[in-house]
Chains A and B, each alone.
Chain A
Amino acid sequence: MDNNVSKFIKTPKKKKNFFISFLNKILVCLILVISCLIMMKKNNEFYNFMSTKVFKDNFSFAYLNNLYNKYFGSVLPSYSSEETETVFNEKLTYQSYNSYYDGYKLIVNDKYLVPIIESGIVVFLGDIDNYGYTIIIEGIDGVDIWYANVENTSLKLYDYVKKGSYLGETKNNNLYLVFEKNQEFLKFEDYIKN
Chain B
Amino acid sequence: MKTILKIKFDNTFYIFLLLILLSGMFKPFTFIFILIFFHELGHAITGTILGFKLDKIIIYPYGGLTKFNNLENTSLNKEIIMLLMGPIIQIVTYYILNYFFKYDYLKNYHLSILIFNLLPILSLDGGRLLNIFFNKIFSYKKSFYLSIFISILTIISLIIYCLYFYYNINLLFMSIFLLFKLYISFKNLKYSYQKFLLERYLYNFPFKKRKVSKSIYDFSKECYHYIDFYEEKDYLNKYFQNKLEK
Question: Which A residues form the contact surface with B (CB < 8 A)?
Answer: 59, 61-62, 64-65, 68, 72-81, 84, 121, 156, 158-160
Contact = CB atoms under 8 A, between A and B. Distances in A.
Interface stretch (B73-81, B102-110, B121-129): B102-110
B109 A75 contact: no
A79 B28 CA distance: 14
A76 B22 contact: no
A76 B168 contact: no
B160 interface: no
**7 A-B pairs with least C-beta separation:** A61-B24, A73-B168, A79-B112, A65-B23, A72-B169, A77-B112, A79-B111
A80 B26 CA distance: 20
Contact of B109 (A59, A64, A77, A84): A77
Nearest to B24: A61
B171 interface: yes
Contact of A62 (B19, B24, B116, B171): B24
B111 A76 contact: no
Given A81-B105, A81-B108, A84-B104, A76 B24 contact: no
Given A61-B22, A64-B23, A76 B171 contact: no
Interface string B1-30: 000000000000000000110111111110
B22 A64 contact: yes
Nearest to B108: A79
Dominant SS at the B interface? Answer: helix
Contacts, number: 65
A84 B104 CA distance: 7
Interface of B: 19-20, 22-29, 32, 62, 104-105, 108-109, 111-113, 115-116, 166-171
A75 B20 contact: yes
B116 A75 contact: no
Given A72-B169, A77-B112, A159 B24 contact: no
A77 B25 contact: no
B104 A76 contact: no
B16 to A, nearest CB: 9
The listed residue with most A CB atoms (<10 A of its CB), out of B24, B104, B105, B109, is B24
The listed residue with most B CB atoms (<10 A of its CB), out of A75, A80, A121, is A75
21 contacts: A59-B22, A62-B24, A64-B23, A64-B24, A65-B24, A65-B25, A68-B19, A68-B23, A73-B167, A73-B170, A74-B168, A76-B25, A76-B29, A76-B109, A77-B113, A79-B111, A79-B115, A84-B104, A158-B26, A158-B27, A159-B27
